[in-house]
Amino acid sequence: MLISTCLRLIHFYNFRRHNAKCALIVYTMSVFDLKKGQSGKIIKISSGGAVAARLSALGIVCGQIVTALGFSLFNSGILAGVGATRVAIRRAVAKSIEVELCK
């Protein structure tokens, strides 16, 4: 997550230096990086195939707000809430869902 944030800040600096009067800084993280009780708007799902189809069938699609409700004992999974749906997601799948932190 730190590398991703640094790359975004470098991009912001270059954009700011060359082009604009103002720009928007967007901090993104994975669903797994959310703390218990935090929410984020889904902006990108990197998984493909059957995993992406299963997530979309459960309502986990771009633009939805996802909330971290809890974690498993050894942090191998996360309980996430999307709308009226509660879903247990493995760590690998949760790390492939990129969210923008809601304030």
Q: Which domains does the chain have, with CATH numbers?
A: 29-101 (2.30.30.90)
Does this model's pTM top 0.75? My answer is no
Per-residue pLDDT tens digits for 26-68 = 678 999 999 999 999 999 999 889 999 999 999 999 999 999 9
Q: Is the pLDDT of residue 17 over 80?
A: no
List, in sequence order, the alpha helices (H) in the chain.
Answer: 2-18, 50-57, 91-95
Per-residue pLDDT tens digits for 72-97 = 999 899 999 999 999 999 999 999 99
Distance CA 63, CA 8 (A): 20
The DSSP symbol for 34 reads S
